[in-house]
Amino acid sequence: MSDNKVILVMSSETPHGLEGDQHLCDALRDHGIEPVLRNWDDPSVDWSEGRFAVLRSTPNYSHCHEDFLKWAHSVPKLLNSPEILEWNIDKHYLRELEKLGMPIIPTIWLEPEQNLTKHQVHSRFPAFGDFVVKPTISSGGRGVGRYTSTSADSRREAIEHAMDLLASGSGVMIQRYLEQVDTQGEVSLVYYNGVISHTVQKTAMLHAACDGPEPEQIVTARYPSQEEWGWGERVRRYVHDYIKQTSEHDTQVLYGRVDLVADGKGSYYVMEISLVEGNLYLESTSEAVDNFVDAIVQRYYW
């Protein structure tokens, strides 16, 4: 192991990481830390060569999550920890949030063991408006589709989508598409070592299936409102308390992202908590990289 190395974990699909990762590498070197990029799905990597490893860009985990978790447990020190990843990799955690009183987008959950027919799946779709079909394990919006209730062709595509996911062993989430996503966008609050770093506003990415190619998402940094900050803190505290109860190792979350969307009634839904390898929008503002480096340096000298 090299005392001045930290491994940034990528994948064979994204070996150079995301936008902003080069700036992260440069800033770490400025602090005397040498970042080394390694792919999680490369069996030849020696994961003990750095003081610890930080997940950065591993979007292909969603296709082989069992192998990914097995790999995570084999790494001498991984941030975020394998216990955190196990909880967060499957979006069923949103049901736990809901039981605690956290408002999530109303969701119909379909499970492979239910052995649902096409008619039964169809009967669970909304009768009006657009809706979304998504797998319970996905990364970066993969496997997510938007459909229109009043279009026979769109509903047929949605049925096939859901049936394919169920046949592959994946759980399925059916959610009404919120017009607030189009009119107001999503809000992401990013935390490092439990402290808020930056907030971004994101435009919608999903069109209905018949509407053509997806638009490019526009991300804009801004300050959170008092209510957004309050919701983010509430979610962060829940996650911290949960990890303290379940983890035998590192209970501090190095990085995390909380995604919110307005509920149309003056408050917010919690859309997602990203603790695996979610985009931290390092390119959105200079503080995003600087704060992440500070958080890594803090861990380096713990």
Residue 192 included in any domain? yes
Higher pLDDT: 38 or 179? It is 38
Question: For all residues of the chain together, what is the average pLDDT?
Answer: 91
> Is residue 294, in this structure, part of any structural domain at all?
no
Specify if 67 maps to a domain. yes
At 291 the three-state DSSP class reads helix
Instruction: Please indicate, yes or no, if residue 300 is contained in any of the structural domains.
Output: no
288 domain-assigned: no
Between strands 78-79 and 53-55, the pairing is parallel
Instruction: Work out how many domains the chain is built from and give that number.
Output: 3
Quote the DSSP letter at residue 220. E
The pTM is what? Answer: 0.91
E strands, 204-280, are 219-222, 255-262, 268-274
pLDDT at 210: 45
Residues 204 and 267 in one domain: yes
As a whole number of Å, the CA-based R_g of the chain is 20
DSSP structure class, residue 113:
G
Residues 50 and 144 reside in one and the same domain? no
CA distance 239 to 260: 15
Query: What is the C-alpha separation between 288 and 101, in angstroms, rounded?
Result: 30
For residue 23, the domain's CATH number is 3.40.50.20
In this structure, the answer to whether residues 26 and 154 fall within a common structural domain is: no
Q: Are 18 and 11 in contact (CB under 8 A)?
A: no
AA identity, residue 84: I
274 closest CA partner among 292, 255, 288, 261: 255
DSSP 8-class letter at 44:
T
Domain extent, residue 49, equals: 3-86
Question: 236 and 96 in one domain?
Answer: yes
Q: Helix (H) and strand (E) counts for the chain?
A: 9, 13
Asked if 97 and 72 sit in the same domain, the reply is no
Residue 46 lies in a domain: yes
Residues 250 and 196 in one domain: yes
Instruction: State pLDDT tens for residues 199-220.
Output: 999 987 665 554 555 567 789 9
Asked whether residue 264 falls in the same domain as residue 206, the answer is yes
Query: With contact defined as beta carbons under 8 Å apart, do 251 and 245 qualify?
Result: no
State residue 21's pLDDT score. Answer: 94
Same domain? 93 vs 124: no
Boundary-marking domain end, from 174, 195, 227: 174
- Give the mean pLDDT of 94-116: 93
Tell me: the pLDDT tens digits for 250-285? 567 999 999 999 998 989 999 999 999 879 999 999
- β partners of residue 268: 262
Among the residue ranges 181-185, 196-200, 296-300, the one predicted with the least confidence is 181-185
